[in-house]
Amino acid sequence: RGRTEDHALVKPEMHGLTQILADVAKDMRSSVSRDISGAELLHGLLSAPWLQSLLKVRVFIHSFKEVLIPTHEVRELYCLLRRPHVQALLLAHDTVARKDYDPVLPLVPEGVPGDEEAMRIICLVKNNQPLGATIKKDEMTGDIQVARVIHGGLADRSGLLHPGDKLVEVNGSSVEGLEPEQVIQILFKSQGTIVFKLIPNSPQPENSQATVFLRAMADYCPLRDPTIPCPAAGMAYSKGDLLEIVDQTDACWWQARKLPSAGPCAGLVPSNSWLKRKQREMWWSQPSQVHTCIRPCEFHPDFLSSEIQQLNKNVLICFLTFYPYLRLPSDPCGRGYVQPTSGFRRSLRLFRRRTQNKRRLSCHSCCPSKALSSPYEEVVRYQRNPEDPPRLIVLLGPSGVGVNELRKRLMKTNPSTFQGAIPHTSRPKKSSEESGKEYHFISKELFEYMVCNHRFLEYGEFKGHLYGTSVDAIKEVLDGGKICLIDIEPHSIQSVRTKTLKPYFVFVASPSLERLRLTRRSARVVASSHLTRHFTDEDFQEMQECGRSMEARYRQYFDSVLVNDVLQDACLQLYSIIRRAQDEPQWVPVSWLKPVQPGRRDVETTNSPKV
Ligand SMILES: Nc1ncnc2c1ncn2[C@@H]1O[C@H](COP(=O)(O)OP(=O)(O)OP(=O)(O)O)[C@@H](O)[C@H]1O
């Protein structure tokens, strides 16, 4: 359509011009025949096809100019875009897009010697945010240097300060001969804009190490650590916290962020090797005494903190709380026997409790060297493959909190999803019992043989008979595609934490004393083999005390904490926790996903017995 219209529009004028050109060319022909000088050249020119085409283009352009009269909207838009603030906005946009932030600096004055050290002048506006850099004094030269730039902090994000940069002046005053603390004081007193003059360090190597995720296996408080170079830059963490290690350039002090990350700024945490060294020193000097000689370190102004070089090798680290098994305080959790409920295996807690002290001395998880070995545990996100066996669900909690009740309820309401592991026992089978139903009935000799071959996660003795939960009984449930629900005593955590079972630990915590009184009004505890009674306030207090003690000691292993307040709600919450554990990515020890090294086998995966 457009083409037809175009033709219609341009035809009359084009015709006119073409005609004129044709007439001129015709006149020229007569001049050519009269042999007038140059006429032939001019004739050739006027008859050239390209001239014809040029003429057509010109006619087209002319006709369009007349047709496209700008509308009101077009004119308005044009005016808007020409306004100075819109122009400035577009300019700012282009500058940001090009990342063209460098200021336009005046030329270096003539006569400056070429070998003069390059200086950098940094102008910062003081506000409430910490700068995220520390300074120290070079022991050899006495220079004040930038010691550390905290990952994600203001200094790091600005890209203006780097470790090793030498500080020359602050607000026009030389820092030569000053101590770091004096420089901090100058900065502390300064208001508004602060100008630093620096001699930049040679370019730093990029931190090429990949980010590592660790689970803290101990508590750490920088303000109670006399060895930290800068307490103000330190980051406190508790057992079980997830840490993203963003910088490992320093062998002793890493930079880490706590997950889920609250902000971009990292903090200083002791490296694995540094902690281990300090642990060893502490262990060998005073194995079970928690040091109280901790001197809280000075808190420096956040703006720029001084690194205190006080790495006194004789100072013992005082911030790790160890619980060497050989010196444990008496366990507050010992309580009465609970009768088995028909159809379900009762918890093995009583047998565990009675034999706890005896086993503690021989248990492999009680070895001090093992307790010392891992201040951090490397973890990765793990998503269970739908074809893989389900993860083992392990419930823990103080006696009487309702671990067994929750376990039983889940199995009763979802028998096709959940199942317990059938325990082994050396006690004689009753006439009403069937082996492999309530228990696997085996001889004492076989039981002991299985113990020697690490076939039990937990075992104990009750009234002269042995009872235990075997790895194979759990694997049987998992391999059958059901979720195995077990409850254990916390000291067995280490033997359950294997790559084959990939356990998920749920700590069942008690609610407040008031809620316990309210919710357990009609609940009964077993006082002896034949007697049940109501809970007393003493029971509740004991339960809470035991729960606190368990949390303090084993929190680092808990994947979830469930408060058992209203039973029905707790059941639903436990169900959704378990579903998430099976279906959503979770943090697990990196060793669970590594292939087994040749020559090493997971204890529970080997079937060859020890002879
Ligand atoms: N949320 C709750 N509300 C009311 N009663 C509860 C609740 N949870 C558990 N109970 C009751 O408390 C009593 C103790 O529970 P349970 O036997 O499950 O404790 P437990 O943690 O397994 O302790 P133990 O290992 O000593 O047997 C039971 O009578 C149970 O029905």
Q: Tell me, what's the ipTM? A: 0.98
> Cα dihedral sign for 553, 559, 563, 568?
negative
Task: State the chain's mean pLDDT as an integer.
Answer: 77
Q: Is the C-alpha dihedral spanning 119, 123, 129, 135 positive or negative?
A: positive
Query: Tens digits of per-residue pLDDT, 34-57?
Result: 777 788 888 888 888 888 888 887
**Per-residue pLDDT tens digits for 398-416:** 999 999 999 999 999 999 9
Residue nearest to atom 11 of ligand 1 (CA): 523
Nearest to 133 by CA among 221, 233, 65: 233
Grade residue 205 by pLDDT with cuts at 50, 70 and 90.
Answer: low
For atom 5 of ligand 1, the residue with the nearest CA is: 520
Helix, strand and coil percent figures for the chain, each rounded to 5? 35, 20, 45
What span, in angstroms and rounded, lies between the C-alpha atoms of 383 and 588?
Answer: 10
3-class secondary structure, 491:
helix
Question: Does the structure show a pLDDT above 80 at 16?
Answer: no
pLDDT of residue 370: 43
Helices 2-33 and 39-46 pack at an angle, to 10 degrees, of 170
Closest CA to 204 of 242, 172, 247: 247
588 band by pLDDT with thresholds 50, 70 and 90 = very high
Which CATH fold would you assign to the domain 349-592? Answer: Rossmann fold (3.40.50)
Can you tell me the mean pLDDT for 583-591?
A: 95
494-520 residue pLDDT tens:
889 999 999 999 999 999 999 999 999
pLDDT digits (tens, 9 = 90+) for 156-171: 888 888 888 999 998 8
Lowest-confidence pick of 166-175, 275-284, 365-374, 601-610: 601-610
What count of Cα atoms within 13 Å lies in the side-chain half-sphere of residue 363?
26
Nearest in space to 151 (alpha carbons), one of 170, 136, 130? 130
Q: Is 229 helix (H, G, I), strand (E, B) or coil?
A: coil
- What superfamily would CATH give domain 120-199? PDZ domain (2.30.42.10)
Angle at 59 between CA 58 and CA 63, to 5 degrees: 120
Q: Where does the pLDDT of residue 321 fall: very low under 50, low under 70, confident under 90, or very high at 90 and above?
A: very low
Confidence of residue 395 (pLDDT cuts 50, 70, 90): very high
What does the pLDDT look like over 217-227, one tens digit per residue? 989 998 888 88
Least confident of 61-65, 403-407, 595-599: 595-599
Residue 393: is its pLDDT beyond 60?
A: yes
φ, ψ of residue 522 in degrees (nearest 5): -100, 0
- Name which residue sits closest to atom 22 of ligand 1, judged by CA: 404
**pLDDT value of position 204:** 62
pLDDT at 323: 24
Q: State mean pLDDT over 16-32.
A: 78
- What average pLDDT does the segment 436-458 reach? 93
Q: Is the dihedral of CA 323, 324, 329, 330 positive or negative?
A: positive
Ligand 1 centroid – CA 466 distance (Å): 25
For ligand 1, atom 15, the nearest C-alpha belongs to 402
Spatial separation of the C-alpha atoms in residues 360 and 460, rounded to whole Å: 11
Q: Transcribe 54-109 into DSSP letters.
A: HHHHHHHHHHHHHH----HHHHHHHHHHHSHHHHHHHHHHHHHHHT-----PPPPP
**Residues having CB within 6 Å of any atom of ligand 1:** 335, 338, 347, 349, 397, 399-405, 519-520, 523-525, 564, 567, 570
Cis peptide bond N-terminal to 398, omega within 30: no
Closest approach atom of ligand 1 to CA 397: 21
Domain boundaries, the chain: 2-67, 120-199, 349-592
Per-residue pLDDT at 319: 24
- pLDDT value for 333: 35
* Residue whose tokens read 């980051």: 235
* Contact of 19 with 27, CB cutoff 8 Å: no
| 237 contacts 261 by C-beta, under 8 angstroms | no
From the alpha carbon of 564, which atom of ligand 1 is closest? Answer: 1
Residue 316, pLDDT above cutoff 50: no
pLDDT of residue 375: 86
Whether this prediction's pTM lies above 0.90 is answered by: no
